[in-house]
Amino acid sequence: MADVLPFRALRYDPARVAAAQVLTQPYDKITPAMQERYYAASPYNLVRIILGRREAEDNPASNVYTRAAEYGRVWRNDGILVQDDAPSVYVYRQTFSAPSGASRERRGFIALGRVEDYSARVVFRHEQTLSKPKADRLELLRATRVHYEQLFLLYEDSGEIEALFSPETADDPTIDVSDEYGVAHRVWRVSQPAVLDSLQKEMRNKKLVIADGHHRYETALNYRNECRAAAESSNPQAPHEFAMMTFVNMNDPGLLILPTHRVAHSLASFSEEEFRKSCSEFFQIEETKAAIEPNCATSLLRERGRAGTALLVVTSKSAFVLHSPKTAASQFLAGLSARQRSLDVVQLHKVILEGILKLSEESIRNQQNLSYLREASEALAQVRTASAKHGPANIAFLMNPCPVQQVRDVAFAGEVMPQKSTDFYPKLLSGLTAYALD
């Protein structure tokens, strides 16, 4: 069962700092330019903790992790970060514009969730993780003993949990801030015992799917195991047994998954004619205009995707849709379930990237010949113009977003998708709340 608890969040004091100057995007979405902008915004910007600058003279005694811990300690001592006086949950709503232009609101709440082994079948993953980012986040957690960023988890119900918070959100929010992408983030603190008790009871029978934050979830697992090993006795309520999570109903109308397009570049001896011929062995091919525009590409993919797999392939000279995988494609899908075979992203990775283009799983993980892009316009531009970094890209693969039902089904079956299969939009803002283990 899901064990969800209120907590006394560590939060920026609005009387001391403006939220817009100190909150950030998640650490793995912060570019070098964003990092510099955050540093300039405020001496208390969270970037100094979650993604601090590395320095040439760093050593085991003084480094990005020790500096993060010191910033956190000083900010707490100076009252920049203050801890709420009573256990609470934090209703979290994000209002934003979808790429279609439609306005949406995603609703959830921030609370503690028990960190569970996957074998317990309470928390489910849907993507593989890499060791390097987990090692980085573990060092940060060891040094700071604070969860400064939220994990993003999905549960499923018919709106009963959201209804618990309706009376609480009639008042002005505790936090109200817009980020650099125009997303409005509003948070209400809820500490009424009756509401908290009802919430815990409602969540007990839920299964949870990690939407975003797989690396940080597994970091929390590793840290929990370290703390268990170091303790002389087991305490199931110890602070390290929990992590800070944002919970969102997977039936929420504001839940949006965007596609992540792929661009293959720097391929040795690439022949467009040979590639096209190989594709015809494994898929049906439908021609479209070589100069197809992004909006038309998105519409075409959406329409063709209604019948199953649909991938739009664009090169500098042509564009065509791959659909209706042929029997021959199954040679690249051995050992995969029907659920996985039905995923466009699996067909792309296994049949095309690995099977036809002969890219290894390792090279794909390391992004040696592959770029991942949210915007279809950028993917198309890369195959139509030369890049200073890679020269002309060889092929763009445009995709439909993965439906949340497929994410759920794959996760509950104990299976995983290729990396960057989902892009839940918008991202959770970092620094709204923090969970201190001490």
Residues 229 and 181 in one domain: yes
C-alpha span between 87 and 95 (Å, rounded): 26
Residues 307 and 395 in one domain: yes
Residues 173 and 24 in one domain: yes
Strands (E), 64-193: 81-83, 89-97, 103-114, 123-124, 146-147, 151-155, 175-178, 184-190
C-alpha span between 355 and 317 (Å, rounded): 23
C-alpha span between 390 and 362 (Å, rounded): 19
Q: Residue 395: name the closest of 214, 267, 243, 217 by CA.
A: 267
Give, as one character, the DSSP assignment of residue 50.
H
C-alpha span between 283 and 324 (Å, rounded): 6
C-alpha span between 256 and 250 (Å, rounded): 10
Q: Is residue 61 packed enough to be buried (19+ CB in 10 Å), middle (13-18) or exposed (0-12)?
A: exposed
pLDDT for 1 equals 85
113: tokens are 């969730």
Pairing between strand 123-124 and 208-212?
A: parallel
Residues 169 and 237 in one domain: yes
| Any domain includes 241 | yes
Is residue 325 within 8 A of residue 282, CB to CB? The reply is: yes
Residues 222 and 267 in one domain: no
| Any domain includes 415 | no
pLDDT in tens, 59-81: 999 999 999 999 999 999 999 99
R_g of the chain, CA atoms, integer Å: 23
Residues 215 and 314 in one domain: no
| Any domain includes 417 | no
Residues 276 and 227 in one domain: no
C-alpha span between 434 and 82 (Å, rounded): 10
Tokens 């197809």: give the residue: 292
| Any domain includes 10 | yes
Strand partners, 397: 262, 313
Residues 268 and 132 in one domain: no
Exposure b/e, 191-205, CB count within 10 A at least 16 = b = beeebbeebbebbee
DSSP string, 392-415: EEEEEEE-PPPPHHHHHHHHHTT-
Look at the chain and report how many structural domains it folds into. Answer: 2
Residues 248 and 316 in one domain: no
Domain around 388: 260-400
| Any domain includes 306 | yes
C-alpha span between 328 and 106 (Å, rounded): 42
Strands (E), 338-390: 370-373, 386-387
pLDDT in tens, 329-368: 999 999 999 999 999 999 999 999 999 999 998 888 888 8
| Any domain includes 405 | no
C-alpha span between 231 and 240 (Å, rounded): 11
| Any domain includes 333 | yes
C-alpha span between 192 and 129 (Å, rounded): 38
Q: Residue 394: name the closest of 270, 262, 260 by CA.
A: 270
Per-residue CA distances from 217 to 101, 220, 414 (Å): 32, 5, 16
Strand partners, 245: 111, 151
C-alpha span between 187 and 246 (Å, rounded): 12
Residues 216 and 302 in one domain: no
| Any domain includes 414 | no
Residues 325 and 184 in one domain: no
Per-residue CA distances from 100 to 301, 309, 363 (Å): 14, 22, 34
Pairing between strand 123-124 and 319-323?
A: unpaired
Residues 299 and 322 in one domain: yes
Q: Which residues of the chain have pLDDT under 70?
A: 232, 386-392
pLDDT for 391 equals 60
Q: Residue 397: name the closest of 324, 345, 332 by CA.
A: 345
